Structure 1
Amino acid sequence: MDSNHHAADVTPHVRSNIQRRKKLNHKDKELIKKKLVKSGTVFIIEFFKQWKAFKEKKPNVTNAYFVEVLHCIFFLGYIHERQDKKKPIEPREFFSSDGIYERFQKLFPQAFEQYRTHWPTRTPFSILLDLVTKWKGCSNHTAILKHLEDIRKGMVVDKNKDDQCENNYCLVASVISVCYFQEDMKRSSPIYYGASLSCSGRVETQVMITLSCIKTWNDAVAHAVWHGKSGNIIRLPNGVICMAYKMKLPRGSYLEESPCVKCHRIFQNIDFIPVYTESDKTQDWHYGNCAENESLSNLLNGEERVRNETVAYRHYEEQDSHSLQEQVPLDRAEIVNQAKKKAAQLLNSRGFKIKDDEIESKFFHPN
């Protein structure tokens, strides 16, 4: 058969498939964008209710919590992958009316002015978790989880069974982690909390992980996350207990969950409850995505003894297949320099024009 004739027969079919895939891709992106907007809208409404209720109990609570949430949601909307890169998700799209939008813009101007120039240090759900623990206290993690479950009921975007809020395009954290330091049978530290990175896509998650390695997380956690792929780990002292709770649908209850293989590998000598079990499930999320990063970071920042006794190691394989660990320093400066370059690259791919040496001066600080 003549090759030109064969190509003429195949080409229209191939072209048709390509066009069909483009249409489906465009449709998927539009659905994802709508879901993100709806998620942001309901999150703002529910967070505002929680913040107002907290202020009624403690009138001295500042606007900072709500301003930080608004800024982060606007930022995630701005960097979200969009079909027309000239039209990002604007803050107005997260409000049901011009009146509400204008009211909030007047009351909280900083969030509206800086979402395109400054970056957040944590996700909306981490801010919510911080607010709830400040309000309810941190000693009863069962009560905290129950309160979060009740809040989540007001954050349902769609009730379609296939439209689950634990995917990458909803702002509700699918996993909560709690940890503490048990010095002896009679004495333990406060409970420290963390949430998984509930962002709006894989690139957005990479952005938040990279920014957290620069600014948010404790040195040891940043080291373990940043060097996770190369085999580096941190070893914590005896007595650190860590528990994770994963949201189970459709009820939306947080139930006990064993650590993933990545957390089990990079955070060593921790008593995980439930204990780690090997699994054949695909775990394609990034190092840094899990809730344990935030809770352990908060523990390390709050407990001097744990912080001082935590050691970093480099793991490597010798030619005879023996694995060895070599103690290495926690070099946060090196991590920050590398992460700034990556952050600039990621942010510039989403509409910013920033140099890596400008990253550290552009973190958002609510007034």
Structure 2
Amino acid sequence: MVFKGIVEYASINTTYEQAEGGLESSHTCDLLEPGARRRTLPFDWGLECGASLLPRSLGGLLLPTAGKRVGYQTPPLLGHLRPSRYGGLSPPPLPLMVADALKHQCVGGSLCPGVGVQTAAMANQEINRREEFLKTQQGFRKNAYKIIDEMNGWSNNTAGSTHLVDEILHSILFLGKINKTPFSPNEIFSSDDILQALMEKYPRPFQFYLTQLPRRSPFSCVLDMIVLRENPENEEQIKQSLRELISDLAPQFLVSSIICISQKSNTDQSSKRYYGVSMSTNGPNPGKIVIGASCLNNWDEYVSGAVMTYYPNNNEKKAYFDGTIEVPGNIRCESFSLSRDEQMSPCKSCHNLFGLNTEETKKWAYGNCAEPESLSNLLKNEEEVKNGTTVHDRSAENRQRAEEEVRQDLQAVLRMIHFNTWSGEFYNPESE
């Protein structure tokens, strides 16, 4: 819709009450009193015309307004407002709480002069589309809360694990900030008491999630916690524990789909196992950010060099740098689905990066798979494997140039999504 011209408005008073399923809303409409203060906000507002007319942003935050009365300004209404279709997540999201009347400018609709039913129908369709999209994004909030709650509970009886809770908190808070529908810490946690307790126990994630990037995606912390609890040799129990957790989570958000296990020998099953999971990010920008951060501040130098050969352009190698490697042919590097309980062949991308044998032709984004993390852990800890690995380009100058390109691309992606507060640093969790 095009908005211009000024119309008279009514004040919508919305009351929010805490209910079993979340927040419930009720609405009453009053005429705007003459001389009441009005304010214009620079946001794109969608209007649901007809019997229901509710303002909302394109991707704002849910209002923490339980038990409070909030006034909005909108064109005159005919009849009563019906409740929002958000169910337990009423009200519709707004970028901030508005405690006074708002001045809105619009051209018509059935409630404004000059526009007919067709515009109202189009507005309704757009509102429905946005509302359905926002519903799909609630999986992030639900998974974030469940994963953090589970990790915090595990850490209470797992020695040497609190740094994993610290790290996953930071990673999830950062990803919540850059999610298509952003989620603040207040929105992730259902209780102020829970939020306050976490902030007191783990203050640094809340202090740095707006200025430092996570070194890896959240599910890597979950993996480390479960390996610590189950012991690395108990491979089947580790996979089963991950599957049980995933079965209780919404798909896509903060969840890895693949686990990889590497050993220095494919015949000696008593050798130590090193685990990795695929990136638990949703969407191209979060994935690109975390892969770039892992290259610069997490993975073994051989693995990061291989990934940087293609990153950020996944379609071709860099002309000046070939950091791809060939790991020894006698190591074990096997991947398994965490949803279907079956072994997975390495994709074509992992063949290009690490020389892994495969007949698979499918390519995933370089660095997205579980193999980079698993092989990185293997190379960091098994000197014999690292010494037997072939590196195609060992030029320090070329590598430095590749690293600088990764950093520049990170900055460009962050600017594109309007995350302008990165200090250039990566988050290191507080050790115990």
SS at match of 1:42: helix
| Shift in Å, 1:18 | 9.0
Instruction: Confirm whether residue 38 of structure 1 aligns to residue 142 of structure 2.
Output: yes
**Which of 130, 137, 141 is the matching residue for 2:235?**
141
What are the residue-to-residue correspondences of 1:132-171 with 2, within 5 Å?
A: 132-153=226-247, 155-157=248-250, 165=251, 167=252, 170-171=253-254
Q: 1: distance between equivalents of 2:268 and 2:405?
A: 43
What are the residue-to-residue correspondences of 1:73-88 with 2, within 5 Å?
A: 73-82=172-181, 88=182
Q: 2: distance between equivalents of 1:74 and 1:119?
A: 10
Which residue of the partner structure matches residue 71 of structure 2? none
Root-mean-square deviation (CA), in Å? 2.8
TM-score using structure 2 length: 0.64
- 8 Å Cα contact 1:152/1:172 also seen in 2: yes
Which residue of the partner structure matches residue 222 of structure 1? 304
1:203 aligned partner, one-letter code: N
The count of corresponding residues between Structure 1 and Structure 2 is 305
| Shift in Å, 1:287 | 0.8
Q: 1: distance between equivalents of 2:254 and 2:131?
A: 21
Note the alpha carbon deviations across 1:236-273, whole angstroms, 9 max, x for none: 1231211111123xxxx5321111121123221x4x6x
**Which of 162, 165, 173 is the matching residue for 1:63?**
162
2:230 aligned partner, one-letter code: K
Q: Report the CA distance shift for 1:207/1:19 in structure 2 as closer, same or farther (over 3 A).
A: farther
| Shift in Å, 1:339 | 0.9
| Shift in Å, 1:33 | 2.6
**Which of 214, 225, 230 is the matching residue for 1:131?**
225
- 8 Å Cα contact 1:344/1:354 also seen in 2: no
**Which of 338, 345, 362 is the matching residue for 1:258?**
345
Q: Report the CA distance shift for 1:348/1:21 in structure 2 as closer, same or farther (over 3 A).
A: farther
What are the residue-to-residue correspondences of 1:103-118 with 2, within 5 Å?
A: 103-118=197-212
Which residue of the partner structure matches residue 262 of structure 2? 179
TM-score using structure 1 length: 0.74
Q: Which has the higher helix share?
A: 1
- 8 Å Cα contact 1:36/1:200 also seen in 2: no
| Shift in Å, 1:144 | 1.2
Q: 1: distance between equivalents of 2:174 and 2:342?
A: 31
Which residue of the partner structure matches residue 339 of structure 1? 406
Q: 2: distance between equivalents of 1:203 and 1:122?
A: 14
2:328 aligned partner, one-letter code: P
| Shift in Å, 1:175 | 0.3
Which residue of the partner structure matches residue 277 of structure 1? 359
SS at match of 2:263: strand
Note the alpha carbon deviations across 1:95-146, whole angstroms, 9 max, x for none: 1111211222222211111111111111111011111112221123112111
Q: 2: distance between equivalents of 1:99 and 1:20?
A: 38
1:33 aligned partner, one-letter code: Q
Q: 2: distance between equivalents of 1:64 and 1:127?
A: 9
| Shift in Å, 1:354 | 5.2
Which residue of the partner structure matches residue 5 of structure 2? none
Q: 2: distance between equivalents of 1:75 and 1:342?
A: 18
SS at match of 2:385: helix
Which residue of the partner structure matches residue 287 of structure 2? 205
SS at match of 1:200: coil
Q: 1: distance between equivalents of 2:390 and 2:395?
A: 8
| Shift in Å, 1:362 | 4.0
Q: Return the structure number with greater relative CO, CA threshold 8 A, min gap 6.
A: 1
SS at match of 1:50: helix
2:189 aligned partner, one-letter code: F
Which residue of the partner structure matches residue 293 of structure 1? 372
Identify unmatched segments of 5+ residues in structure 2.
1-115
Note the alpha carbon deviations across 1:277-301, whole angstroms, 9 max, x for none: 345x6x4x41111000100111111
- 8 Å Cα contact 1:235/1:311 also seen in 2: yes
- 8 Å Cα contact 1:181/1:188 also seen in 2: no
1:192 aligned partner, one-letter code: Y
Identify unmatched segments of 5+ residues in structure 1.
1-11, 83-87, 158-164, 314-326
Percent identical among aligned pairs is 28
Which residue of the partner structure matches residue 48 of structure 1? 152
